[in-house]
Structure 1
C-alpha cells in the first residue's frame, strides 16, 4: 500500500505542476475575437476587425517594413492601408471600403475569411508584394468591389474565374503573376473598362468574342497565347483606346477590321509571328499615335494610307519583310531590316528572295477565312519565311516571362477632387527609362495632383540619378477616361493614416528578354540609319538587357525592336466611397517609347 500511495502522490504532484505551468507562447496571443469591453460603432467594423486580425496572425508570414505594425485595437479605420467610408446604400453606416497595401513587400496569402469578413470592399490594391496561392472562392462576397489590383505578386493557378462573378468590378489588374491556362471567353463579356493580364503564363488563343468587351485599355502582352487576332476586334470601335499584344506568339494576318478602331491611340502587336500584308484599312486608325508592327513576318508594301493618319507620332515596322514604304514623313518611322530596295540596313537579298517566292495567303488563315474570305495570292498558307543561315530563330521565352526591370508599378486612384492634375512635378524616385533597372518607388503620401513621368527616350545605359530628371512641357499623348462609378459614392468621412516608408528599396531580379531600341532622333520622315552595307546580322530576339556594344563600322546593325508596353497606368476612376488614399501617386497616361507596368516581384528575405 505504501508504494501505491507514493505513486498516487507523484501523479497528483505531476498534474499540479502541469496546471501551474505557463501556457505556450502561441496561446498567450490575444484572441481573434475582440474583448467584450471594446466598443465598435457597428457590427460590420467588428467583423472587419476579426477578418484583419485573422489575416495578419495566420496568413501574413513576413512584413519587413512593419506596414501592419499598427493593426491592433478596435479602431480598424486607423490601420495602415485600411480606409473607411459611409456605405452607399445602408443608411450611411461606416464600413471598411478599401484596402491598399501597394509596395509593402508583405509575404503571405489571402485567407478565405478575408473577403467574407470585408464584404463592403470597393477597392483592393495589393500590388508589388509577395502574396501567393490562389484567390479564394469567398471573393464572391465582394459584391461592391470596383477595382482589383493584385499585380506583381506570386499568385498561381488558372485564371481566377471568381472575379468574373463580381457585378461591380470595372478595373482588373492581374499582371506579373503566374496565372496559367487560357483566358476565359466570359472575361470579354464582363463590363470591364481596363484589363491587364500581361506577363503571366497564359496560353491558348485569344477567345473569338474579344470584340464583346467594352474595355478602353487591353494589355495581354508577354504571354504564350498563340493563334490569331480575332476579327471581332472591330466591334470595340466605340470604346477601345489602347491595345498591346507584344510577344504573344500570335500568328495569322492582321485582320482588316482593325481599321474600325477609330479611337485607338496605341496599337502594338510587335514581337509576334504575324504574316501577310499590313492591311490598307489602317487608314481608319485616325486617332492612333503609336503604331508598332515590328518584329513580325509582314510583307508587301507599307500602305500609303499610313501617311494620312493625322495623329501618328511613331510608326515602327522594322524587322519584317516589307518591300516598299510610303514616301511621306511621319513624326518617327523605323523600317530597318526589311526588304525595301535602296533603303539602308535591310535584309540580305537571299532572305528577301525566299520570302517573295512564297507570299503568305491570308485567305487561308483560319481567323480570316471564316470572317472575310478573299481570293488568295498563292497556296502557301501558314508559310513562315526562313531565318537567315546561322541566325537565331524568333523564339520567345520558354517559361514565365521575367518582368522587365524598369517597369513602374501602377498606383491607386486619384483622391476625390483631384482627377485633373495641377502643378506637375517629377515623381519621386523616377528615372529616365532605360535598360538598367531603377529601384522601385517608395511608399509615400499621395499628393493632390498627378505626377507625370519623363517622356525622354529610353537610354541604353544606366539611368541617371532621379534628381536630374525633369518632366517635359509636352502633354502625354493619351489618357484614360474615367468609368462610371457605382451609385451612392459620398465624400470621405475619415482620413486614412500615414503609411510607413520601407526602409530600403527592394532588390530586383535579372531583367527580361526584350530590348527596346532608342527612337530615331529628329522629326523627319526617314529614320536615322546605321552604316550601310550589303550584308547584315539577323535581328536578335530575347537577348538580355545590357549596355549595347559600340556600333559596327561596316555592317548594318539589325534592329532589336519591340518597345515594351506593359500596361498603361490605372484609369482615373471615380473615388471609392470618397476615400483618400495613402499609396504612391499614379503615373500619368503612357508616354510612347517608354515601358510601363509593375516592377518585378521583390525577392524574399
Structure 2
C-alpha cells in the first residue's frame, strides 16, 4: 500500500453509487439499462485513465444504447425488454482497467470486444456474472497474471481471444474441456507443456504460438479430427517428435509447428492431412527423408521444411516448397557436410523419446548447439529465411483475427467528438479508433459482416486499418451441423464467429 501510494497509484476503491446515480428526472426504459448506465459511468470516471480519441465522449445521458461502442438488443426471455448485449471498444486506445463493478452491471453481455487498447491489470472474478457471454476478445492489451480461469466458468463462451498480453503460467487443462470454437493464446508468457487433453477440445482454430510451453505435442490431438481446421504452434519451444496421430486430422488446412525443437523423422502419417494447404515444419531438428507421402496431398499449396536435417526429398512438384539448409545431396543452399555427418551419426529414436518441459541444450552428441529457432540472427553461411515478427506492443495495431462489431440497435448512435491526437506511446504508434458502422440487425443478434481487407498469413499481424463499413445486403454464412464457420487464418480475412440465432441459451 505504501509503495503504491509512493508512486502515485491509489488503491482501487469501489465507486460511490451516489456519484454515478442518474438524476431522478431521467427515465430509463427498464432497470437493466439503468444498471448499465451506472456501471459504464463508474468505469469511465474511476477506471479509464486516458481516452485520447474521445471514444467515450458521448457516454452521458440516459440513452445508454446510443453510447459509442454500446449495442443493445431484446432480452432473450422477454423481447419487450431491451438490454446492453454488446460492448465494442476495439482500437479505441483507451488506458485503464476493468473494475469489478463492470461485469456486475452488464450481466446481459453476449459480446465483449476490447481489442487494441491499453487496459491493464487482471480480469476480475466478477466476470463470472457474464453467463451469456459468447465472444470475448481482450487481445493486444496489457493484462497480466495467470491464465484468467474465470473465463472457463462462462457457459455460453465460444470465442476466446487473449492474444498479445502478458498472461503467464500454465494453460489450464479445463480450457480444452470447454465448448470453444476458437482459442487464441499466442504471444503471451505462458509456460509449461500443452495439457494432454488437448484432443478433448471441439475447437476449429487453436493458436498457441510464441509462448514458452516446452514439452510435446499431445497424441490426443488426433481426437480433433472432426473439428480442427487450423493448428498454429510456432515458436513454442516444443520438443519430442510429431505424434503419428496428426495424420487423423483430415480437415486441417493449416498445420504450423515451425521454430521449435521437434526431432526425429516427419511421420509418414502426414498423408492423412488431406485438406492441408499450409504445412510448415521449418526451424526444427527433423532428420531422415521427407516422406514421399507428401506427394499425395492434393490440397497442399505451401510446404516449408527449411532449417532441419532432412537427408532427401521426394520428386513430386505438387506444392511450393522451401527446403534450404538441410542435408539433401545436390540441393542448393544446404548445411555443411560436417553438420550433416554429425546428425546422421546420432539419429533420434522417437520410440524412446521423453517429453521435456524445457528445450534441449544440445542438438545431439557431435552436433552444434543451434540458435533458438526464429529468434537469433542466422549464421553468416546460412541462407536468409523468413522470421516471424516480434509481438506488437499493447498499443500497436490489432493482430489478424479481429472480431467484428457486435449487434446493432434500433436507435442511431450519437456522433462522437473528432478524434484528438494521441500522445506518442513509449511502445509505439497508437492504433486508430474504431470506425466501422454497425451492421444490419437480424433476429436476436446481428451476424457480423465479412472483413473486406485481406490480412497476410498467420505469421504476421495485420496493420491496424479500420474495416470498411459493412454492406446492408450481406447475409450471414450458414454453418453445417451447428458448427460456426471459420475461414482459414493463412491469407484469408478472418472475423469472429457469428453469434447464434438465439444468443441466450
TM class by smaller structure: 0.7 to 0.9
Name the counterpart of 2:403. Answer: 412
Name the counterpart of 2:228. Answer: 240
* 1:108-257 matches, cutoff 5 A: 108-257=96-245
**Residue number among 303, 308, 312 corresponding to 1:315 in the alignment:** 303
The secondary structure found in structure 1 opposite 2:19 is: coil
**Residue number among 395, 398, 403 corresponding to 2:392 in the alignment:** 403
Change (3 A) 1:58 1:387: farther
Name the counterpart of 2:322. Answer: 334
Matched, 1:569 2:479: no
Change (3 A) 1:235 1:391: closer
**Residue number among 29, 37, 55 corresponding to 1:41 in the alignment:** 29
C-alpha deviations, 1:1-40, integer Å up to 9, x for none?
xxxxxxxxxxxxxxxxxxxxxxxxxx9x983111111111
- Are the equivalent residues in 2 in contact too, given 1:413–1:575 (CA < 8 A)? no
Gaps of 5+ in 1: 1-26, 369-380, 418-436, 467-478, 487-563, 580-605
Q: How many Å separate the matches in 2 of 1:103 and 1:288?
A: 33
The secondary structure found in structure 2 opposite 1:31 is: helix
**Residue number among 273, 277, 281 corresponding to 2:269 in the alignment:** 281
Offset at 1:444? Answer: 1.5
- Are the equivalent residues in 2 in contact too, given 1:414–1:572 (CA < 8 A)? no
Q: How many Å separate the matches in 2 of 1:455 and 1:395?
A: 21
Q: How many Å separate the matches in 2 of 1:299 and 1:332?
A: 20
**Residue number among 229, 247, 256 corresponding to 1:268 in the alignment:** 256
- Are the equivalent residues in 1 in contact too, given 2:90–2:433 (CA < 8 A)? no
Relative to the length of structure 2, the TM-score reads 0.77
Q: How many Å separate the matches in 2 of 1:441 and 1:131?
A: 16
Offset at 1:456? Answer: 7.8
- Are the equivalent residues in 2 in contact too, given 1:175–1:196 (CA < 8 A)? yes
* 1:361-510 matches, cutoff 5 A: 361-366=349-354, 384-385=363-364, 392=371, 394=373, 396=375, 402-403=391-392, 408-413=399-404, 440=431, 442-446=433-437, 450-454=450-454, 484=482
- Are the equivalent residues in 1 in contact too, given 2:280–2:305 (CA < 8 A)? yes
Q: How many Å separate the matches in 1 of 2:361 and 2:244?
A: 18
Name the counterpart of 1:560. Answer: none
Change (3 A) 1:440 1:387: farther
Q: How many Å separate the matches in 2 of 1:122 and 1:362?
A: 46
Q: How many Å separate the matches in 1 of 2:238 and 2:111?
A: 33
Offset at 1:48? Answer: 0.5
- Are the equivalent residues in 1 in contact too, given 2:458–2:490 (CA < 8 A)? no
Change (3 A) 1:452 1:338: farther
Matched, 1:352 2:340: yes
Q: How many Å separate the matches in 1 of 2:330 and 2:478?
A: 41
Change (3 A) 1:313 1:66: same
C-alpha deviations, 1:453-486, integer Å up to 9, x for none?
44789999xx99x9xxxxxxxxxxxx99689599
The secondary structure found in structure 2 opposite 1:366 is: coil
Q: How many Å separate the matches in 1 of 2:392 and 2:230?
A: 20
- Are the equivalent residues in 1 in contact too, given 2:362–2:370 (CA < 8 A)? no
Q: How many Å separate the matches in 2 of 1:353 and 1:406?
A: 46
- Are the equivalent residues in 1 in contact too, given 2:27–2:62 (CA < 8 A)? yes
Offset at 1:243? Answer: 0.3
Change (3 A) 1:315 1:459: closer
- Are the equivalent residues in 2 in contact too, given 1:219–1:566 (CA < 8 A)? no
The secondary structure found in structure 1 opposite 2:494 is: coil
Q: How many Å separate the matches in 1 of 2:326 and 2:293?
A: 19
Name the counterpart of 1:72. Answer: 60
Name the counterpart of 2:417. Answer: none
Offset at 1:365? Answer: 1.6
Q: How many Å separate the matches in 2 of 1:110 and 1:123?
A: 15
Gaps of 5+ in 2: 1-14, 377-388, 409-427, 440-448, 466-476
Q: How many Å separate the matches in 2 of 1:162 and 1:224?
A: 22
- Are the equivalent residues in 2 in contact too, given 1:268–1:292 (CA < 8 A)? yes
Q: How many Å separate the matches in 2 of 1:55 and 1:568?
A: 33
Name the counterpart of 1:293. Answer: 281
Q: How many Å separate the matches in 1 of 2:224 and 2:195?
A: 14
- Are the equivalent residues in 2 in contact too, given 1:365–1:382 (CA < 8 A)? no
Offset at 1:96? Answer: 0.4
Relative to the length of structure 1, the TM-score reads 0.65
C-alpha deviations, 1:309-364, integer Å up to 9, x for none?
01000000000000010100123100000000111100000000000000001011
- Are the equivalent residues in 2 in contact too, given 1:146–1:169 (CA < 8 A)? yes
Aligned residues: 428
Change (3 A) 1:576 1:159: farther
Q: How many Å separate the matches in 1 of 2:78 and 2:482?
A: 21
